[in-house]
Amino acid sequence: MGKTKWTEVRPNEDYFRILNPDGTLNGKLPRVSRKELLRWYQVFVETRTFEDIAVRLQRRGVLSVAAVSRGEEAVGLGAAAAMKAGDWCFPSYRQNSTLLYWNAPIDRAMAGLMGNSPEHIREQLPIDADQLPQVTFMPYAVFLGANIPLAVGSAMADRLAGRDSISVAFIGEGSTSEGDFHDGLSFAGVFDAPVVIIIQNNQWCISMPASKQTAAETFAQKAEAHGIPHQRIDGNDVFAVYQTVKQAADRARKGNGATVIEAVSYRMLDHNTADASEVYRTEDEAEYWKTLDPFERFEKYLLAEKIIDGNTREAMAAEAETWLREAIDRGRAVPPTPATAMFESHLIGEPGWSERHQRAELAAELAGRNPLVDFTGEGL
């Protein structure tokens, strides 16, 4: 076993940080309007509200599983604020703040979490094209690390077409152990792909601590061998995330290629609702990380600057609860996906013999008839 170079309990804080955990400034703030700062605050509140509701719904059996991003919201949020309309995003499953910032339709998200098919959701919850998020979100990567080559290819297409849009991908620190991560970085480096790859290092890959994923001092370093600029930042500082991703995005838009950013954060809760983290990590650790909470820190700053007051959180939370509830209820009201939806979107064009035949079998089965009585191939 290699010696542990750092620990997940107290990672080296030698990283880029603008906003200190006590809400004071450690450096120069990026230029962000007061209105935008309020929007960030609102998204923080919305993310926590949404995730609380999701966990409650899972406990009541409405959702089979729910993953939340408590304590990591600043990563997805700061990055979202640095994206522009026309960009493409390749999330993992811990970027609810990115989705909320870009007004992703929560009713549709909820219908998806409840196990409806995408075609059925689109049909049941129609949206005008101009109401869709202006950043395009790909389905989140269940298969870890596989989104990286995809994002790089997407970025290569932007470069080939001469567009100034970029691709932004999120990956956990554990997933950087996958070959896919390095496969993607090889391409990103060689082709100067306009992509920003954000390693959301939350210290835990289910039960595996970050120290067991690599013997390198940092995850950002992994980009070094690929010739890609990289930076390690305080992922719980929304200003640091915003500014770093913004600079990387600007570089990418100008044709100067890829950047890898390691945003150091912490998974405050379980991996998902099927996990039990008390089995493998201690309470002390969480206590320490609570002092670095990204939301509390940002709130302290906004209060000190009088951008919000003592009542803002409660008012925004109530507002978020109301509209999120409505959206979630719309998602929950979607009638169950019909079984025939399983055949959708496999091949384009007229179905072949086997698909036609199997569709007929399913129809017979659903109608209570024997689906297996065709012995001639001529149909049921």
Partner 1 sequence: MSGSEDLNLVTAINQTLRQELTRDPQVRVMGYDIGPIGGVFRATDGLYDDFGDQQVIDTPLTENGLIGAAVGMAMRGERPVVEMQFLGFMYNAWGQFVYHLANLHQKTGGLVKVPVTIRATFGGGIKPLPFHSESTEAYLMHTPGIRVVCPSTPYEAKGLLAASIRCDDPVIFLEHTKLYRAFREPVPDDDYTLPLDKCRLVQSGQELTLITWGNMVHVSQEAVNELGADVEIIDLRSLAPLDVEPLLESVKKTGRCLIVHEARRTAGPGAELSALISEYAMEWLKAPIKRVTAFDVFFPDNQVEDIYLPGTERVKSGIEALLNYQF
Q: Which residues bind partner 1 (CB under 8 A)?
A: 1, 64-65, 114-117, 142-146, 174-175, 177-180, 205-208, 212-214, 274-276, 279-280, 336-339, 341-343, 346, 354-355, 358, 362, 365-366, 370-373, 375
The encoded tokens of residue 227 equal: 């010739």
- Please state the separation of Cα 306 from the chain's center in Å: 31
The 3-state DSSP class for residue 266 equals coil
CB of 339 to partner 1, least distance (A): 4
Nearer to partner 1, 255 or 336 (CB): 336
* CB contact burial 331-340 (16+ within 10 A = b; e otherwise): beebeebeee
Q: Which helix (H) or strand (E) holds 233?
A: strand 230-234
Nearer to partner 1, 5 or 84 (CB): 5
Distance set, CA 344 to CA 51, 144, 264, 349, 360 (Å): 30, 25, 40, 11, 14
The encoded tokens of residue 322 equal: 């109301």
Nearer to partner 1, 160 or 279 (CB): 279
Nearer to partner 1, 86 or 338 (CB): 338
Q: Are 238 and 43 in contact (CB under 8 A)?
A: no
CA angle 216–222–226, rounded 5-degree value: 145
CB of 140 to partner 1, least distance (A): 10
CB of 72 to partner 1, least distance (A): 18
CB of 317 to partner 1, least distance (A): 29
CB of 205 to partner 1, least distance (A): 6
Nearer to partner 1, 311 or 354 (CB): 354
Q: Whole-angstrom Cα distance, residue 162 to residue 330?
A: 40
Q: Whole-angstrom Cα distance, residue 106 to residue 88?
A: 18
Nearer to partner 1, 26 or 211 (CB): 211
CB of 14 to partner 1, least distance (A): 24
The encoded tokens of residue 121 equal: 């959701």
